[in-house]
Amino acid sequence: MKTQKFTLMLALVICSALAFGQTKKQPDIAGILKSGKLPQNLELKNDLQKFVVTTDHFNTDIFGNFFNKFRIRGEYTRGLPGDSVKWNHVTVAMSMARNAGFAPGTPVGYMENFRYKVSEDMMKPEKFSTFTEHSAYTKNLVWDMMGIEGFAWAYFNELELNKPYKAAMFNGKIDLAGMGSFENKDVILTWTGITQWLNGEYCAVIEFRTMNNPVEYAGEGMSMKGRSHYWGTIWVSVEDKQVEHAVLFEDVVMELQLPGQTTKQVMDATREITYEKVQ
């Protein structure tokens, strides 16, 4: 992704907070739908918010024959002083059986209170100097959350009801902290309606998708090259612009070389990600 585009997205992500104690107004849902546009003067209420982020990885061959699965789970907090965010209680668990449950997971010590400001700097290697084992998974926690928040807010004012929107600022090649690259080819956002979320918050339902994205990665003794399809849905409050919930699905077909192996193998990896707001 080009630096100029990425900086613009981040400027939109880090919005100014509403005045403390301001009472929320009941949104005019009928008026929003009739206009075909989301509220144009809505500011993010950037107070303390906590999410539990769960990513399940399923590794198979290209015919769907199961190898193993991983679960990475952590608590993500945003709205901290200085526009910073942090991670806590991050764990990694593995299972060798498709239908088996996951164990509680092993804590990832270097992620405890891992705090940073959302910016393009979070694509630089030095930001992850403390990351050791499982870093390919834990870095994705950081980058996935940046992506979800970008999709939620960057084009909020431009979206029109049920009209696919080409989110051009997200397209381009992104450096993965010196370990490889990911290229978004054609990100499409579509606002499909308004629903009431489980907590009573009225939310815009924003869908995103992008296909055939080249990806390369090398680290922890392995290397891979492949392509990614990913898509999902974000529920964004039309009352205070906070993300109330999000899901992301990804399918990656790759050529992989594992440590100690002299030949490459073709694999398919799928990811299912859930961002559940808990506060």
pLDDT tens digits, one per residue of 14-67: 333 333 334 556 789 999 999 999 999 899 998 999 999 999 999 999 999 999
- Quickly list H helices, the chain: 3-13, 29-35, 135-153
Task: Average the pLDDT over 121-141 and give the result.
Answer: 93
Asked if 52 contacts 259 with a C-beta cutoff of 8 angstroms, the reply is no
Which CATH number does the domain 3-17+24-277 belong to among 3.40.50, 1.10.10, 2.60.40, 2.30.230?
A: 2.30.230
Instruction: Supply the pLDDT for residue 6.
Output: 41
Q: Quote the radius of gyration of the chain (alpha carbons, Å).
A: 19
Over the stretch 76-102, which tens digit does the pLDDT of each residue have? 999 999 889 999 999 999 999 999 999
Percentage of the residues of the chain whose pLDDT score is greater than 70: 91
pLDDT at 1 over 80: no
Question: Mean pLDDT across the stretch 163-174?
Answer: 96
186 or 25: which leads in pLDDT: 186
Helix (H) or strand (E) holding 43: none
Which pLDDT belongs to residue 79? 94
Averaged confidence pLDDT in the chain: 89
Alpha carbon distance 236, 13 (integer Å): 13
| 8 Å CB contact between 204 and 170 | no
Q: What is the pLDDT of residue 27?
A: 87
Report pLDDT for 21.
Answer: 36
Q: What tokens does 217 get?
A: 């990665």
Domain ranges of the chain: 3-17+24-277
| pLDDT at res. 2 | 45
Instruction: Read off the DSSP letter of residue 153.
Output: H
pTM: 0.88
Length of the chain counted residue by residue:
279
pLDDT tens digits for range 189-244 = 999 999 999 888 999 999 999 999 999 998 777 888 999 999 999 999 999 999 99
Q: Among 5-9, 166-170, 190-194, 229-233, name the one with the lowest average pLDDT.
A: 5-9
What is the per-residue pLDDT for 24? Answer: 55
pLDDT band at 176 (very low <50, low <70, confident <90, very high): very high
CA atoms of 43 and 123, how far apart (whole Å): 27
